[in-house]
Structure 1
């Protein structure tokens, strides 16, 4: 199958990345995931404008550098770095043939942010996601989120999320 992706240099993108078979690995290995992001960002810079990490998937907003559109290589390197040293489990034949470890779904969801309103909707979606999935009652209770940084910067109030609009609740990206 051929996927068409939107590649626009210097653009802002929303991503959803999911573990294979929704294995709840990411929170258990959060330091490994953080290291993978740091390692890739050091060599291939990009700005993480927002992120939330849940046990089996993550959502993030990235701003790529001017003149750079290569988010696919960055994701490949982040996934590879995270997976290094983790045991392969229950591999399907197609995964074995491609020398995969069965840690990540092969692809990811990407959305090119169109405007300020689109950016804000995705920002809200990211930070409300742990509440939406029932992990916590308030966004501020989830430790693996950029919500706390954005509260400190004045983007959100500490109690944000108690009355989230239907637009945020109805968004589906996973």
Structure 2
């Protein structure tokens, strides 16, 4: 694909993006070149630690998430940061932690940008959470959701 077209598509994804404090969003971030970095569960745990740190600092309220080998799905209520700032924080903090654990291994951890979807109603939260945590099943990584350790939801 032509790099000018990719740049235009990335810009088009950002057009119309609104960061509304308290609103529920489904966020998706992908590793650079879809590298299966998080197939190493120890590295995935470093990402999870940073997500929990942002939650504990009240910068975001986490409802559900799953860390797949090459991407993250995160269902949140947005706190005081914009979507862009939140994603910059999680990507930067996780990249620092992972590169500290594996020096010179991942020159670039995350693909540029991210996808966001604002949920329309409270009713969508649990349905979206179920969809998120079932991702490893749909991907054929496991037979039972309890077999996959890299997910969580507040409705347990």
Q: Is the 8 A contact 2:55 2:62 kept in 1?
A: no
1:160-171 aligned within 5 A: none
TM-score normalised by structure 2 residue count: 0.76
Residue ranges of structure 1 left out of the alignment (5+ in a row): 90-100, 152-174
Residue 66 of structure 2 corresponds to: 52
Q: Is the 8 A contact 1:8 1:69 kept in 2?
A: no
| DSSP-derived class of the 2:137 partner | helix
Residue 154 of structure 1 corresponds to: none
Q: Which moved more, 1:26-35 or 1:48-57?
A: 26-35
Residue 127 of structure 2 corresponds to: 121
1:69: how far off?
5.2
1:1-174 aligned within 5 A: 1=8, 2=11, 3-4=14-15, 5-28=17-40, 29-43=43-57, 45-65=59-79, 68=80, 70-84=82-96, 85=99, 86=102, 87=104, 89=106, 101-147=107-153, 150-151=155-156
- Structure that is richer in helix per residue: 2
Larger radius of gyration: 1
- Structure that is richer in strand per residue: 2
Residue ranges of structure 2 left out of the alignment (5+ in a row): 1-7
